[in-house]
Amino acid sequence: MQNTGKSPIQITFLGTGTSIGVPVIACNCPVCKSPDARDKRFRTSAIVRVDNQSIVIDCGPDFRFQMLKQNVEDIDAVIFTHEHRDHIAGLDDIRAFNYILNKNIPIYGSKNVMEAIQTEFPYIFSESRYFGAPQLTIHEITNTPFTIGETTIQPVQVMHNKLPVFGYRIGDLTYITDASLIPESEKPKITGSKVLVLNALRNSKHISHLSLGEALDLIEELKPERAYLTHISHFLGLHEEVEKKLRNLLHDNLIVDV
């Protein structure tokens, strides 16, 4: 897949942590008590800037803080990887953009995602819609390319244990989180990526996430120019120590040009 060719791609990592974030509530481990800002991880999310657009990938429960932290004043769309709450729970905070910018926000996701959003936020879809509810434009997607403005996006379907999840290829960037398996049939979509982002939950095997070893094996197989690791738990270890070995460990607020 070729780049859009009209502008460079930049990705800002709004959150690089797990579903419970880091530090973990009530945990006294060295990572959770670390004074290093790189060990403080919001729930996984990113914003991709391409073709003069700002496209958010997932808006979990930390979405409001992430937008304020990055001083984001406009977004053009939100695309969802899957329907788990750590990826959709911040959707209500979209309404701030509605108020300030006086526009609907397009959202993109699978049928499962849209059904979960309607269950979690029924007031958004009520016929007698609550006045303050988020104003959204719904786009249900499948495992085929779609466009946002001038940007073409290729879904990459991976498995999160038994749950199908979408990663996304945007030009030379491939972003995959919450994967435990990448089917062979989907790997050609990733081939040739300049930047590959993969989840790497912890050192030991996990039923629904790639371990560090599994992620590194995939990186070696897929051979992107650069690779970065996200969706990191406190079990992986202190950022400073892990980074000495890997040099591709993400942290919140890191900006990468593709």
The sign one gets for the Cα dihedral 184, 186, 192, 198 is: negative
Return the CATH number at 97: 3.60.15.10
Q: What is the pLDDT of residue 83?
A: 98
Regions in the chain scoring below 50 on pLDDT: 1-5
Q: What is the pLDDT of residue 1?
A: 40
Angle subtended at Cα 243 by Cα 184 and Cα 87, rounded to the nearest 5 degrees: 55
Asked whether residue 32 is assigned to any structural domain, the reply reads yes
pLDDT in tens, 63-76: 999 999 999 999 99
Asked whether residue 156 is assigned to any structural domain, the reply reads yes
Asked whether residue 126 is assigned to any structural domain, the reply reads yes
Q: What is the pLDDT of residue 126?
A: 84
Asked whether residue 238 is assigned to any structural domain, the reply reads yes
Q: What is the pLDDT of residue 233?
A: 98
Asked whether residue 5 is assigned to any structural domain, the reply reads no
What total of structural domains would you count in the chain?
1
Rounded CA separation 255/168 (Å): 18
Rounded CA separation 40/31 (Å): 9
User: What domain range includes position 198?
Assistant: 10-257
Asked whether residue 87 is assigned to any structural domain, the reply reads yes
